[in-house]
Amino acid sequence: MANHYDVLGVSREATGEEIKKAYRKLARQYHPDVYQGDDAQERFKNVTHAYEVLSDPQKRRVYDTTGNENGTETGFGAGGGFGGGPGFAFQDIFETFFGGAGQQGPPARTRRGQDALINVRIELRDAVFGVNKKLEVETAVVCPTCDGSCCQPGTSPATCDICHGSGQIQRPMRSILGQVMTATTCGTCQGFGTVIPDPCNECSGEGRVRSRKSLTIKVPAGVSTGTRIQLGGQGEAGPAGGPAGDLYVEIKVNADAQFLRDGDDLHATLTVPMTAAALGTELTLETFDGEQPISVKPGTQAGEVVTLRSLGVTHLRGYGRGDLKVHLHVETPTKVDAAQEALLQQLAQLRGEQFTSGKLVSSGGMFSRLRDKLGNL
């Protein structure tokens, strides 16, 4: 690497002002609009690098001592810019002069489309077993007339006459180095480097139009309200025929008239007549899997639960299903005729349950014996 003092053409005893003056002179000399040599960029880099080292007292001291600015006090890893000097960024200066020369040309007109989100309602049965759901979606699709080219059929984009395809406009600007050139986005082509002389009449040069399309999605078993299904490439088509974004389908599960869901378990209530609860019986319950027998044991009390294994909701992740829990509700008759009342009174007498003026009188059971014992104390 050339000696930094030689690059700037100054002596080792040069003052900071002399170094700055030499740098300004060489920067103007090797400016790409002035210097026509093929090595313009390389020369400018060397001049700027030398100035970056020698204009910083700390870096200059290390360089004068070691002959190498990449010591512990300098180097490419510290601070900002090319060598980490405070308040100095070599890359910023380089881009100011060369207009972002490191970029790979103007951006593409084609861009990815946006993602979309829609809500879909399903029944609880569908959440248990899964379902194929047909959807009608209004979205952006590739223009059928221009096929995303944005141009009238038979025409094509043309190179911008203003920026000549670069997507940028060079403008002079005054700076501490004199007059330099800056690059700004071309307002005619919006930075794309090309213009559309004859835009497509159907999409107005956008390359996409609004339309409705039909989709069939597979809703997996076990989904719940809030579950989202991602459909890759089913979102909005991108401008200028760009790839489509993704479509997200958010599930809403409708409430069911018979079953309540708790996680992957289902709950139902089955009403049992008083006599059936006392004597025991076999009932049936219509479930999502068809009719299921429910065994009511003699002496069943209100609130007891019968569990039917693996008749609940399918596990979304994993295997198997939850349970169906049947809550038994013992129904006491609210109205009885004379014959029924007589039978109930006869049953009460047989069970030792005596009623006086509507109040239950103990027939000498455990509680009466306990009362008598306490009364003799």
User: pLDDT tens, 299-308?
Assistant: 999 999 999 9
Alpha helices, DSSP H only, in 123-227? 124-129
CA distance 40 to 27: 10
Residue 327's pLDDT is 96
Residue 4's pLDDT is 86
Check: CATH 3.30.360.10 for 260-331?
no
Cβ–Cβ < 8 Å for 133, 122: yes
> In terms of CATH architecture, what is 107-151+204-255?
Sandwich (2.60)
Is 260-331 the same fold as 107-151+204-255? yes
Residues of the chain where predicted confidence (pLDDT) is lower than 70: 1, 31-38, 40, 69-104, 175-179, 354-377
Q: Which residue's structure tokens are 């869901």? A: 261
Cβ–Cβ < 8 Å for 329, 318: no
Residue 33's pLDDT is 56
CA distance 11 to 1: 17
Q: How far is residue 228 CA from its own chain's centroid?
A: 10
Cβ–Cβ < 8 Å for 217, 229: yes
Q: Which residue's structure tokens are 């030689």? A: 6
Q: Locate the domains of the chain by residue range.
A: 4-98, 107-151+204-255, 158-195, 260-331, 338-375
Residue 250's pLDDT is 96
What are the Cα distances from residue 247, in Å, to 227, 236, 280, 281, 323?
14, 8, 54, 53, 33
Residue 176's pLDDT is 65
> In terms of CATH architecture, what is 4-98?
Orthogonal Bundle (1.10)
CA distance 25 to 20: 9
- DSSP conformation class of 241: G
